Amino acid sequence: MTNVSLTGVRSKQILSILREHGPLSLPVLAQSLEPPMARRKCREVIKNLKEKGLVRRFNSYLPQNAGNFYSLAMTKNERRRIAELLKENPESFDVCFVRGAELRHGEQCALWAEYLKSLYPEARVVRDWELHKHEEVKDSFVAYNEDRDLLPDIVISFCRKLDQEPLLIAVEVERTRKGTSRLVKKVKSLVMQTQLDGVIYVCADFEIGEALRLAFAT
């Protein structure tokens, strides 16, 4: 009985994470759960969800040697079933979309977002594609638009006193070095077109960090 109950909890966790972060590989998915799950157990839950038609193997473009990625099923009826399981409104239920070339970046964002949730349980951690759903976050963007390239990967909203606005910290995850013009455009967007209280950049190596420093100095 305990195993059945645990599987139910884990199933909902997996569905929720795939909805929030898009397609993920098995190792990252298992690591993103709270508490983390053994890959073998995670694979069993995914198999069960696939058999129920709620999860599918992601067959679009995959990076070289990427292994298997999994995503939520996409038909209208399947989305309705998932929304009901997660106790969300089926009419407004949507799912994170990640372009094939951005899968690895999406995974890193997922890991950081889930880590930040565990680090700051009282804060709200919001991914880029859901910023418009949260008024206290959306209102911080002076010129909000649908160009996700100009939005931060993650925003952490910290509650303060009742008469104060929340403290908003953006988190940018940089895996690869981008062109200087693109970096400058993003930096200016975050600094000049938002009311964020701070921006944290997470860089894969020193060279990426140095390129960002030069972009800030431009």
Rounded to a whole number, what is the largest CA-CA distance in the chain?
61
What CA–CA distance (Å, rounded) separates 152 from 104? 17
What CA–CA distance (Å, rounded) separates 75 from 55? 11
Q: Which long-range contacts (CB under 8 A, 24 or more apart) does 150-153 make?
A: 150/185, 150/186, 150/189, 150/193, 151/189, 152/128, 152/190, 152/196, 152/199, 153/109, 153/112, 153/127, 153/128
Task: Yes or no: say if 102 and 176 are a contact pair by the CB < 8 Å rule.
Answer: no
List per-residue pLDDT tens for the chain, 218 residues long.
Answer: 334 333 488 999 999 999 999 999 999 999 999 899 999 999 999 999 999 999 998 866 665 655 789 999 988 899 899 999 999 998 889 899 888 778 889 999 999 999 999 999 999 999 989 988 888 777 777 555 556 667 889 999 998 877 788 899 999 999 888 777 888 888 877 877 788 888 899 988 888 888 888 877 76
What CA–CA distance (Å, rounded) separates 71 from 15? 9
Entry pTM: 0.85
What is the DSSP pairing of strand 124-127 with strand 24-25? unpaired
What is the DSSP pairing of strand 167-174 with strand 198-203? parallel
What CA–CA distance (Å, rounded) separates 106 from 6? 27
The per-residue pLDDT for range 134-160, each reduced to its tens digit, is 887 777 775 555 566 678 899 999 988
The per-residue pLDDT for range 49-76, each reduced to its tens digit, is 999 999 998 866 665 655 789 999 988 8
Name the token pair of 123: 């804060």
Task: Yes or no: say if 59 and 71 are a contact pair by the CB < 8 Å rule.
Answer: no
C-alpha closest to that of 49 among 87, 12, 22, 86: 12
